[in-house]
Amino acid sequence: DTGVSQDPRHKITKRGQNVTFRCDPISEHNRLYWYRQTLGQGPEFLTYFQNEAQLEKSRLLSDRFSAERPKGSFSTLEIQRTEQGDSAMYLCASSSKQGKPYEQYFGPGTRLTVT
């Protein structure tokens, strides 16, 4: 499978714990995006990487959230001191500067439940 993959698919954690999600983009895609989607809503943009550089962060990305893409390939999204309001689906997408520059390919998402 050469699509975007995310791990884990589901995560249940207690309030106050830290969690980390991983995203592996499509090979050779230099752009990577993180989104958050709550029930009944469309995805909301969190952050964007071009190669290893984090070029944009949404105001939604509080100081408890940090994202990295150390080698310009996979990315991690960490949430510290989780709160119940963090419960959501976290989606990762990637795109290439070649071919269809507008096309973002989404992964299956990581569903986070904070109890």
Partner 1 sequence: KNQVEQSPQSLIILEGKNCTLQCNYTVSPFSNLRWYKQDTGRGPVSLTIMTFSENTKSNGRYTATLDADTKQSSLHITASQLSDSASYICVVSRLNSGYALNFGKGTSLLVTP
| Residues found near partner 1 in the complex (CB under 8 A) | 4, 31, 33, 40-45, 48, 55-56, 58, 89, 91, 93, 100-109, 111
Smallest distance, partner 1 to C-beta of residue 10, A:
9
Closer of 72 and 108 to partner 1 (Cβ): 108
Nearer to partner 1, 10 or 81 (CB): 10
Between residues 37 and 80, which has the closer beta carbon with respect to partner 1? 37
Q: Closest approach of Cβ 41 to partner 1, in Å?
A: 5
HEC assignment per residue over 85-109: HHCEEEEEEEECCCCCCCCCEECCC
The torsion angles phi and psi of 85, rounded to 5 degrees, stand at: -70, -10
**Cα Rg of the chain (Å, integer):** 13
Q: Are 79 and 86 in contact (CB under 8 A)?
A: yes
Minimum distance of partner 1 from residue 45's CB (angstroms): 5
Cα–Cα dist 71/36, whole Å? 23
Residue nearer to partner 1 on the CB measure, 80 or 111: 111
